[in-house]
Amino acid sequence: MSLDKKTSTDIVSGGNKTPLVIFKTKEDRNETDISKMSNFFEDYVHEMTLSIRESSHLQEIMELPIADLSVIGDVINQADIIVQGNITLLPDFENLPSDVRMKLKKGIYSIGESKQVEDNLRAVILDENGVRIKDITLKKVMNNPWNVETMRSIGNQMQMRQIYAKLSEIQGFQTYQIQRDRDRDIIVPFLDARQLVLEAATKKSEYDQMRMLKVADDRIRTAINAVYTDIETTSKCLAKKVSRPFGYFSKTPNTYMGFIADDLQIATKFVGVRLQILEYLGERETAKLVLENYQSRMLSFIEQPISKRGLSASMLMHDYFPYNDSNMDFWYNFSVEMKPALKKSMEQLKLEATDSDDKEVYFVSVEDSEDE
Protein backbone atom coordinates (compact mmCIF):
# COMPACT_ATOMS: atom_id res chain seq x y z
CA MET A 1 0.00 0.00 0.00
CA SER A 2 1.40 3.42 -0.95
CA LEU A 3 0.77 6.34 1.35
CA ASP A 4 1.46 9.62 -0.45
CA LYS A 5 1.84 12.84 1.51
CA LYS A 6 3.11 15.91 -0.28
CA THR A 7 2.56 18.41 2.49
CA SER A 8 5.55 20.73 2.25
CA THR A 9 7.55 21.68 5.30
CA ASP A 10 9.75 24.71 5.62
CA ILE A 11 11.65 23.96 8.78
CA VAL A 12 14.96 23.63 6.96
CA SER A 13 13.95 23.87 3.32
CA GLY A 14 13.33 26.82 1.06
CA GLY A 15 10.10 28.68 0.52
CA ASN A 16 8.17 30.76 3.04
CA LYS A 17 9.83 29.68 6.24
CA THR A 18 8.06 29.29 9.52
CA PRO A 19 9.97 31.13 12.28
CA LEU A 20 12.91 29.31 13.82
CA VAL A 21 12.01 28.31 17.38
CA ILE A 22 14.89 26.97 19.46
CA PHE A 23 14.27 28.51 22.89
CA LYS A 24 10.92 27.11 24.03
CA THR A 25 10.84 27.03 27.83
CA LYS A 26 10.83 29.97 30.21
CA GLU A 27 14.39 29.06 31.26
CA ASP A 28 15.50 28.89 27.62
CA ARG A 29 14.21 32.39 26.97
CA ASN A 30 15.12 34.17 30.19
CA GLU A 31 17.81 32.33 32.18
CA THR A 32 21.46 33.38 32.17
CA ASP A 33 22.56 30.07 33.72
CA ILE A 34 23.22 27.85 30.70
CA SER A 35 22.86 24.65 32.75
CA LYS A 36 19.19 25.44 33.46
CA MET A 37 18.31 25.67 29.76
CA SER A 38 17.10 22.75 27.64
CA ASN A 39 19.62 20.62 25.76
CA PHE A 40 18.05 21.93 22.50
CA PHE A 41 18.64 18.62 20.71
CA GLU A 42 15.57 16.60 21.73
CA ASP A 43 12.88 18.85 20.27
CA TYR A 44 14.83 19.46 17.07
CA VAL A 45 15.25 15.74 16.36
CA HIS A 46 11.52 15.31 17.04
CA GLU A 47 10.61 18.16 14.67
CA MET A 48 12.89 16.89 11.91
CA THR A 49 11.36 13.43 12.21
CA LEU A 50 7.86 14.88 11.91
CA SER A 51 8.92 16.98 8.93
CA ILE A 52 10.07 13.84 7.07
CA ARG A 53 6.80 12.13 7.98
CA GLU A 54 4.73 15.01 6.63
CA SER A 55 6.65 15.61 3.42
CA SER A 56 7.51 12.10 2.26
CA HIS A 57 6.08 9.40 0.09
CA LEU A 58 5.72 6.40 2.41
CA GLN A 59 5.27 2.81 1.32
CA GLU A 60 4.05 0.19 3.77
CA ILE A 61 6.21 -2.93 3.65
CA MET A 62 5.38 -6.49 4.57
CA GLU A 63 8.88 -7.97 4.95
CA LEU A 64 10.87 -6.82 7.95
CA PRO A 65 14.18 -5.18 6.94
CA ILE A 66 15.97 -6.47 10.06
CA ALA A 67 15.90 -9.84 11.75
CA ASP A 68 16.23 -8.64 15.36
CA LEU A 69 12.77 -7.72 16.60
CA SER A 70 14.21 -6.22 19.79
CA VAL A 71 15.56 -3.32 17.73
CA ILE A 72 12.03 -2.47 16.61
CA GLY A 73 10.95 -2.78 20.23
CA ASP A 74 13.62 -0.25 21.23
CA VAL A 75 12.22 2.30 18.76
CA ILE A 76 8.78 1.98 20.34
CA ASN A 77 9.99 1.78 23.96
CA GLN A 78 12.26 4.78 23.73
CA ALA A 79 10.28 6.71 21.09
CA ASP A 80 13.70 7.34 19.61
CA ILE A 81 15.65 6.83 16.41
CA ILE A 82 17.63 3.62 16.05
CA VAL A 83 20.35 3.15 13.41
CA GLN A 84 21.55 -0.34 12.54
CA GLY A 85 23.93 -0.58 9.61
CA ASN A 86 22.32 1.10 6.62
CA ILE A 87 18.84 0.86 8.20
CA THR A 88 17.38 3.81 10.12
CA LEU A 89 14.15 3.32 12.08
CA LEU A 90 12.18 6.45 12.98
CA PRO A 91 9.37 6.50 15.54
CA ASP A 92 6.01 7.56 14.13
CA PHE A 93 5.18 9.84 17.06
CA GLU A 94 1.53 10.17 16.04
CA ASN A 95 1.07 6.40 16.29
CA LEU A 96 2.96 5.37 19.43
CA PRO A 97 0.34 5.06 22.22
CA SER A 98 1.88 5.99 25.58
CA ASP A 99 0.04 3.21 27.45
CA VAL A 100 1.47 0.58 25.09
CA ARG A 101 4.98 2.00 25.48
CA MET A 102 4.64 1.99 29.27
CA LYS A 103 3.54 -1.67 29.37
CA LEU A 104 6.36 -2.67 27.02
CA LYS A 105 8.88 -0.95 29.32
CA LYS A 106 7.44 -2.76 32.34
CA GLY A 107 7.57 -6.11 30.53
CA ILE A 108 3.79 -6.60 30.59
CA TYR A 109 3.67 -6.48 26.79
CA SER A 110 6.25 -7.95 24.44
CA ILE A 111 7.22 -7.86 20.76
CA GLY A 112 6.49 -10.99 18.75
CA GLU A 113 5.90 -12.25 15.23
CA SER A 114 2.72 -13.07 13.39
CA LYS A 115 2.55 -14.94 10.08
CA GLN A 116 -0.09 -12.73 8.55
CA VAL A 117 0.36 -13.60 4.89
CA GLU A 118 1.97 -16.79 3.64
CA ASP A 119 5.68 -16.79 4.48
CA ASN A 120 5.56 -13.13 5.60
CA LEU A 121 6.30 -12.41 9.26
CA ARG A 122 4.93 -9.27 10.81
CA ALA A 123 6.06 -7.68 14.07
CA VAL A 124 3.21 -7.48 16.58
CA ILE A 125 2.67 -6.54 20.22
CA LEU A 126 1.54 -9.32 22.54
CA ASP A 127 -0.16 -8.93 25.91
CA GLU A 128 0.80 -10.82 29.08
CA ASN A 129 -1.09 -13.88 27.79
CA GLY A 130 0.68 -13.87 24.44
CA VAL A 131 -2.40 -12.54 22.66
CA ARG A 132 -1.80 -10.21 19.74
CA ILE A 133 -3.27 -6.79 20.52
CA LYS A 134 -1.43 -4.37 18.22
CA ASP A 135 0.33 -4.55 14.87
CA ILE A 136 3.67 -2.88 14.24
CA THR A 137 3.72 -1.30 10.80
CA LEU A 138 6.87 -0.26 8.94
CA LYS A 139 6.59 2.35 6.22
CA LYS A 140 9.58 2.96 3.99
CA VAL A 141 10.56 6.55 3.23
CA MET A 142 11.08 6.94 -0.51
CA ASN A 143 14.32 8.88 -0.90
CA ASN A 144 14.52 12.41 -2.19
CA PRO A 145 17.37 14.91 -1.80
CA TRP A 146 15.60 16.87 0.94
CA ASN A 147 15.08 13.73 3.03
CA VAL A 148 18.76 12.82 2.71
CA GLU A 149 19.80 16.25 3.98
CA THR A 150 17.29 16.12 6.82
CA MET A 151 18.49 12.68 7.91
CA ARG A 152 22.02 14.05 8.06
CA SER A 153 20.77 16.91 10.23
CA ILE A 154 19.05 14.41 12.53
CA GLY A 155 22.19 12.30 12.73
CA ASN A 156 24.31 15.33 13.64
CA GLN A 157 21.93 16.42 16.39
CA MET A 158 21.72 12.87 17.74
CA GLN A 159 25.49 12.76 18.17
CA MET A 160 25.48 16.12 19.95
CA ARG A 161 22.67 14.86 22.18
CA GLN A 162 24.63 11.69 23.01
CA ILE A 163 27.76 13.63 23.99
CA TYR A 164 25.81 16.21 25.99
CA ALA A 165 23.87 13.51 27.87
CA LYS A 166 27.14 11.83 28.80
CA LEU A 167 28.75 15.08 29.95
CA SER A 168 25.67 15.98 31.99
CA GLU A 169 26.34 13.00 34.26
CA ILE A 170 29.24 14.89 35.82
CA GLN A 171 27.37 18.17 36.27
CA GLY A 172 26.54 17.59 39.92
CA PHE A 173 30.18 18.05 40.91
CA GLN A 174 30.38 21.67 39.85
CA THR A 175 30.31 24.11 42.76
CA TYR A 176 32.28 27.08 41.40
CA GLN A 177 30.97 30.37 40.07
CA ILE A 178 31.67 31.48 36.51
CA GLN A 179 34.11 34.36 36.69
CA ARG A 180 33.54 37.73 35.12
CA ASP A 181 35.92 37.23 32.17
CA ARG A 182 34.32 33.89 31.28
CA ASP A 183 30.91 35.49 31.67
CA ARG A 184 31.86 38.26 29.26
CA ASP A 185 33.63 36.11 26.66
CA ILE A 186 31.48 32.97 26.63
CA ILE A 187 28.03 33.61 28.07
CA VAL A 188 27.22 37.15 26.88
CA PRO A 189 27.68 36.43 23.13
CA PHE A 190 25.40 33.41 23.46
CA LEU A 191 22.75 35.46 25.25
CA ASP A 192 23.02 38.04 22.45
CA ALA A 193 22.48 35.28 19.90
CA ARG A 194 19.50 33.96 21.85
CA GLN A 195 17.87 37.38 21.93
CA LEU A 196 18.35 37.80 18.18
CA VAL A 197 16.76 34.40 17.50
CA LEU A 198 13.80 35.28 19.72
CA GLU A 199 13.37 38.68 18.05
CA ALA A 200 13.73 37.20 14.56
CA ALA A 201 10.70 34.99 15.24
CA THR A 202 8.57 38.12 15.74
CA LYS A 203 9.43 39.61 12.34
CA LYS A 204 6.87 39.31 9.56
CA SER A 205 9.43 39.82 6.82
CA GLU A 206 11.47 36.75 5.90
CA TYR A 207 14.30 39.09 4.91
CA ASP A 208 14.35 40.58 8.43
CA GLN A 209 14.25 37.11 9.98
CA MET A 210 17.19 35.88 7.93
CA ARG A 211 19.20 39.06 8.50
CA MET A 212 18.81 38.81 12.28
CA LEU A 213 19.62 35.10 12.29
CA LYS A 214 22.84 35.77 10.39
CA VAL A 215 23.85 38.24 13.10
CA ALA A 216 22.88 35.64 15.73
CA ASP A 217 25.10 33.11 13.98
CA ASP A 218 28.00 35.57 14.11
CA ARG A 219 27.53 36.05 17.86
CA ILE A 220 27.29 32.36 18.66
CA ARG A 221 30.39 31.72 16.54
CA THR A 222 32.22 34.15 18.83
CA ALA A 223 30.93 32.32 21.92
CA ILE A 224 31.97 28.91 20.56
CA ASN A 225 35.48 30.08 19.69
CA ALA A 226 35.80 31.60 23.18
CA VAL A 227 34.82 28.36 24.88
CA TYR A 228 37.18 26.32 22.66
CA THR A 229 40.02 28.66 23.63
CA ASP A 230 39.09 28.35 27.29
CA ILE A 231 39.14 24.54 27.14
CA GLU A 232 42.59 24.54 25.55
CA THR A 233 44.07 27.20 27.88
CA THR A 234 42.61 25.72 31.06
CA SER A 235 43.73 22.20 30.09
CA LYS A 236 47.31 23.44 29.67
CA CYS A 237 47.11 25.26 33.03
CA LEU A 238 45.90 22.04 34.65
CA ALA A 239 48.81 20.09 33.12
CA LYS A 240 51.33 22.63 34.44
CA LYS A 241 49.78 22.76 37.90
CA VAL A 242 49.73 19.01 38.52
CA SER A 243 53.27 18.61 37.15
CA ARG A 244 54.68 20.71 40.00
CA PRO A 245 55.63 19.03 43.26
CA PHE A 246 52.53 18.77 45.44
CA GLY A 247 50.67 21.00 42.97
CA TYR A 248 47.72 18.63 42.92
CA PHE A 249 47.19 19.12 46.67
CA SER A 250 45.92 22.69 46.16
CA LYS A 251 42.36 23.61 45.23
CA THR A 252 43.44 25.07 41.89
CA PRO A 253 43.32 21.78 39.89
CA ASN A 254 39.72 21.23 41.02
CA THR A 255 38.82 24.72 39.85
CA TYR A 256 40.45 24.08 36.48
CA MET A 257 38.68 20.74 36.11
CA GLY A 258 35.38 22.35 37.02
CA PHE A 259 35.86 24.94 34.28
CA ILE A 260 36.77 22.26 31.73
CA ALA A 261 33.77 20.07 32.61
CA ASP A 262 31.47 23.07 32.27
CA ASP A 263 33.11 24.25 29.04
CA LEU A 264 32.63 20.88 27.36
CA GLN A 265 28.91 20.95 28.10
CA ILE A 266 28.59 24.58 27.00
CA ALA A 267 30.49 23.96 23.75
CA THR A 268 28.26 20.99 22.91
CA LYS A 269 25.09 22.97 23.61
CA PHE A 270 26.27 26.04 21.68
CA VAL A 271 27.33 24.01 18.63
CA GLY A 272 23.96 22.23 18.61
CA VAL A 273 22.17 25.59 18.54
CA ARG A 274 24.47 26.95 15.84
CA LEU A 275 23.84 23.92 13.64
CA GLN A 276 20.10 24.56 13.86
CA ILE A 277 20.56 28.21 12.88
CA LEU A 278 22.83 27.33 9.94
CA GLU A 279 20.50 24.62 8.67
CA TYR A 280 17.58 27.04 8.83
CA LEU A 281 19.62 29.56 6.83
CA GLY A 282 20.42 26.86 4.26
CA GLU A 283 24.14 26.99 5.10
CA ARG A 284 24.66 23.24 5.11
CA GLU A 285 28.31 23.28 4.04
CA THR A 286 29.10 25.72 6.85
CA ALA A 287 27.18 23.50 9.28
CA LYS A 288 29.32 20.57 8.15
CA LEU A 289 32.52 22.56 8.84
CA VAL A 290 31.22 23.57 12.29
CA LEU A 291 30.48 19.95 13.16
CA GLU A 292 33.87 18.76 11.85
CA ASN A 293 35.61 21.41 13.97
CA TYR A 294 33.67 20.37 17.07
CA GLN A 295 34.46 16.69 16.54
CA SER A 296 38.14 17.45 15.95
CA ARG A 297 38.40 19.47 19.16
CA MET A 298 36.63 16.82 21.20
CA LEU A 299 38.93 14.16 19.79
CA SER A 300 41.98 16.30 20.63
CA PHE A 301 40.71 16.66 24.19
CA ILE A 302 40.50 12.86 24.41
CA GLU A 303 43.74 11.79 22.73
CA GLN A 304 46.23 14.65 22.19
CA PRO A 305 49.05 14.56 24.79
CA ILE A 306 49.47 17.80 26.77
CA SER A 307 51.39 16.70 29.87
CA LYS A 308 55.03 15.73 30.41
CA ARG A 309 53.83 12.17 30.97
CA GLY A 310 52.12 12.17 27.58
CA LEU A 311 48.59 12.28 28.97
CA SER A 312 45.69 13.92 27.16
CA ALA A 313 43.42 16.43 28.88
CA SER A 314 40.75 13.78 29.46
CA MET A 315 43.27 11.39 31.04
CA LEU A 316 44.57 14.20 33.29
CA MET A 317 40.97 14.76 34.34
CA HIS A 318 40.69 11.03 35.06
CA ASP A 319 43.88 10.97 37.14
CA TYR A 320 43.06 14.00 39.32
CA PHE A 321 39.27 14.31 39.33
CA PRO A 322 37.68 14.00 42.82
CA TYR A 323 35.42 11.09 41.93
CA ASN A 324 32.63 9.84 44.15
CA ASP A 325 30.57 6.64 44.04
CA SER A 326 28.14 8.06 41.48
CA ASN A 327 30.69 9.17 38.89
CA MET A 328 33.68 6.85 39.42
CA ASP A 329 35.98 6.66 36.36
CA PHE A 330 33.69 9.00 34.41
CA TRP A 331 36.45 10.63 32.35
CA TYR A 332 38.08 7.32 31.48
CA ASN A 333 34.75 5.84 30.39
CA PHE A 334 33.85 9.01 28.50
CA SER A 335 37.09 8.77 26.52
CA VAL A 336 36.69 5.07 25.78
CA GLU A 337 33.10 5.52 24.56
CA MET A 338 33.43 8.78 22.67
CA LYS A 339 36.74 8.24 20.84
CA PRO A 340 35.45 5.53 18.42
CA ALA A 341 32.08 7.28 18.07
CA LEU A 342 33.75 10.57 17.09
CA LYS A 343 36.11 8.89 14.64
CA LYS A 344 33.25 6.99 13.02
CA SER A 345 31.17 10.15 12.70
CA MET A 346 34.10 12.08 11.20
CA GLU A 347 34.59 9.32 8.64
CA GLN A 348 30.87 9.37 7.80
CA LEU A 349 31.02 13.12 7.18
CA LYS A 350 33.75 12.52 4.59
CA LEU A 351 31.75 9.78 2.89
CA GLU A 352 28.25 11.24 3.16
CA ALA A 353 28.26 12.59 -0.40
CA THR A 354 28.64 9.09 -1.84
CA ASP A 355 26.90 6.76 0.61
CA SER A 356 23.38 8.16 0.69
CA ASP A 357 21.91 5.90 -1.99
CA ASP A 358 22.15 2.69 0.06
CA LYS A 359 20.52 4.14 3.18
CA GLU A 360 17.02 2.91 4.01
CA VAL A 361 14.70 4.81 6.35
CA TYR A 362 11.51 3.40 7.89
CA PHE A 363 8.81 4.78 10.17
CA VAL A 364 7.65 2.43 12.93
CA SER A 365 3.96 2.71 13.85
CA VAL A 366 1.74 0.89 16.34
CA GLU A 367 -1.74 0.24 14.94
CA ASP A 368 -4.83 -1.73 15.82
CA SER A 369 -4.61 -5.40 14.88
CA GLU A 370 -6.25 -6.59 11.71
CA ASP A 371 -8.13 -9.89 11.70
CA GLU A 372 -5.81 -12.76 10.88
pLDDT of residue 370: 60
- Distance between CA 95 and CA 58 in Å, rounded? 15
**Predicted confidence (pLDDT) per residue in 338-353, tens digit:** 998 888 888 777 666 5
SS3 372: coil
pLDDT of residue 4: 39
Tallying the residues shown for the chain, one arrives at 372
Does the pLDDT value for residue 120 go beyond 60? no
- Output the average pLDDT for the chain: 81
Kindly state the DSSP code that residue 141 receives in the 8-state scheme: E
* Burial group, residue 89, by CB count within 10 angstroms (0-12, 13-18, 19+): buried
Does the pLDDT value for residue 316 go beyond 60? yes
Provide, rounded to the nearest whole percent, the portion of the chain with pLDDT above 90.
Answer: 33
Q: How does residue 10 score in pLDDT terms, banded at 50, 70 and 90?
A: very low
Q: How does residue 214 score in pLDDT terms, banded at 50, 70 and 90?
A: very high
Does the pLDDT value for residue 117 go beyond 60? no
Q: Closest Cα to residue 264, out of 290, 289, 294?
A: 294
Residue 324 Cα to chain centre, angstroms: 27
CA dihedral (62, 68, 70, 76) positive or negative: negative
Contact 45, 11 (CB under 8 A): no
Instruction: Region of 15 please: left (phi>0), alpha (psi -120 to 50) or beta.
Output: left
Q: How does residue 27 score in pLDDT terms, banded at 50, 70 and 90?
A: very high
**Predicted confidence (pLDDT) per residue in 146-163, tens digit:** 677 788 788 888 888 888
**Predicted confidence (pLDDT) per residue in 172-200, tens digit:** 444 444 466 677 889 999 999 999 999 99
- Distance between CA 152 and CA 132 in Å, rounded? 36
**Predicted confidence (pLDDT) per residue in 45-78, tens digit:** 888 888 787 777 777 876 777 777 778 777 877 7
**Predicted confidence (pLDDT) per residue in 325-338, tens digit:** 888 999 999 999 99
CA distances from 123 to 126, 141, 160, 351, 371 (A): 10, 18, 31, 33, 15
Instruction: Region of 130 please: left (phi>0), alpha (psi -120 to 50) or beta.
Output: left
Does the pLDDT value for residue 311 go beyond 90? yes
